[in-house]
A and B are shown apart, each in its own frame.
Chain A
């Protein structure tokens, strides 16, 4: 489901219990000297009301769907119910819940691949995330190479513009 960070742990189960014992011992020994900062402890607080406020449109839609068994999004849309406007993405993919999908739900790679430098700029300004920008850069390179090859093939076969002689 939403298991972002979990998959990191899916491998590398270590069986060296002696190391574990030593690590735990050292960990507890150091605990007296290393305090978890108050900032980190504060991160375990969040503003429940503001999260509920952010999700309020979806909550109204959720309540409607739970009260009306069998209703699908297309049925709600066709009935003209404004609650349907809360949905701007219709894709459920439990695997990708763990990964950022990029602006508008489009993977950053495809932004770069389809829109080149402009797509990279969109990713840069929207996400402000170096990893996402790197993905869009890879997409940009792949897109450029693919365009050059397609263009060359097009000319070679005479389908585009001038023909090689």
Chain B
């Protein structure tokens, strides 16, 4: 009985005293350039793992609110719904979800259908090649992740045909209540002869803010 108690206490301690992160918010800027158009978006984001709503309160170029929930993206202006459209289920694979669930180092691939094919050290980087199951290799390409000091440094995505699709770099990590969060993400997407550049900056990141319930559980109209 005594030993059982010790074992139960041992496992419970992790649950009781371990920090559970469920909310994340902060300011964001997204810059995009692909040679034909340039775009800048600035605003505030909110994500709650429980409600699974990802909210972008955009203030530039014009004030708007975007809410990604399930497979629908809602757009609001002055509090009124402007549009809603079907999207892939991206929320649980967003950067915010991966950070909160502490799955960012593997880019969430450990819990996906991808499997590690090989891992090796290249200078200060640990490179892992992930491949989809054989039955899906005509739809999905391989992915290489790079860890530096046990945090995600970059990802390389390939097309099913083996061509380079995009590269992402996660930089300028900040420690927020013990969670390491990249505050600068560079994405370079290869499209034929052109490269699309994107830079995402995150600022003033806060975790587990329980004071701002409205945006974390943004009211949505019935489908």
Instruction: Write 26 A-B pairs (CB below 8 A) sorted by A numbering.
Output: A1-B45, A2-B200, A4-B157, A8-B140, A11-B89, A27-B116, A28-B118, A31-B118, A41-B122, A43-B156, A44-B154, A44-B156, A51-B188, A54-B33, A71-B60, A72-B62, A74-B61, A87-B61, A89-B38, A90-B62, A92-B64, A92-B66, A94-B56, A95-B73, A97-B32, A129-B191
A87-B61, A92-B30, A92-B66 known; A7+B90 contact, CB < 8 A: yes
Chain B residue contacts of A92, Cβ below 8 A: 30, 39, 41, 56, 58, 61, 64, 66
Bound complex: CA A112 to CA B76 (Å): 31
The count of A-to-B residue pairs whose CB atoms sit within 8 angstroms is 211
The contact string, 1 if C-beta is below 8 Å from chain B, for chain A 48-74, is: 100100110111011001100011111
Other-chain residue from B114, B153, B191 in contact with A44 (beta carbon distance below 8 A):
B153
By a beta-carbon cutoff of 8 Å, the part of chain B in contact with chain A is 28-33, 36-42, 45, 54, 56, 58-64, 66, 68, 73, 85, 87-90, 92-95, 108-109, 111-120, 122-123, 125, 127, 129, 133, 136, 139-140, 143-144, 146, 153-157, 164-167, 169, 185-189, 191-194, 196-200
Of A32-40, A136-144, A146-154, A157-165, the one touching chain B: A32-40
Bound complex: CA A103 to CA B194 (Å): 11
Least Cβ–Cβ distance between A19 and chain B, in angstroms: 8
Chain A residue contacts of B89, Cβ below 8 A: 7, 10-11
Q: Across the interface, do A36 and B129 meet the contact criterion of CB distance under 8 Å?
A: yes
Least Cβ–Cβ distance between B143 and chain A, in angstroms: 7
Q: Across the interface, do A9 and B194 meet the contact criterion of CB distance under 8 Å?
A: no
Within 8 A of B (CB), among A85-111: 86-95, 97-98, 100, 103-105
Bound complex: CA A122 to CA B45 (Å): 36
Least Cβ–Cβ distance between A36 and chain B, in angstroms: 5
A6-B108, A24-B116, A127-B191 known; A88+B37 contact, CB < 8 A: yes
Q: Across the interface, do B58 and A95 meet the contact criterion of CB distance under 8 Å?
A: no
Least Cβ–Cβ distance between B71 and chain A, in angstroms: 9
| Residue of A6, A46, A100 with most chain B CB atoms under a 10 A cut-off | A6
Other-chain residue from A24, A34, A71 in contact with B115 (beta carbon distance below 8 A):
A24
Chain B residue contacts of A8, Cβ below 8 A: 139-140
Least Cβ–Cβ distance between B188 and chain A, in angstroms: 6
Bound complex: CA A30 to CA B131 (Å): 14
Q: Which 7 A-B pairs have the closest CB atoms?
A: A128-B192, A73-B61, A7-B88, A89-B37, A95-B87, A6-B93, A31-B118
Q: Cβ of A155 < 8 Å from any Cβ of B?
A: no
* CB closest chain-A residue, reference B94: A3
Other-chain residue from A44, A59, A98 in contact with B90 (beta carbon distance below 8 A):
A98
Other-chain residue from A10, A40, A70 in contact with B156 (beta carbon distance below 8 A):
A40
Bound complex: CA A13 to CA B75 (Å): 30
Q: Across the interface, do B94 and A6 meet the contact criterion of CB distance under 8 Å?
A: yes
Least Cβ–Cβ distance between B61 and chain A, in angstroms: 4
Chain B residue contacts of A97, Cβ below 8 A: 30, 32, 198
Other-chain residue from A57, A62, A132 in contact with B42 (beta carbon distance below 8 A):
A62
Bound complex: CA A88 to CA B197 (Å): 15
Chain A residue contacts of B188, Cβ below 8 A: 46, 51
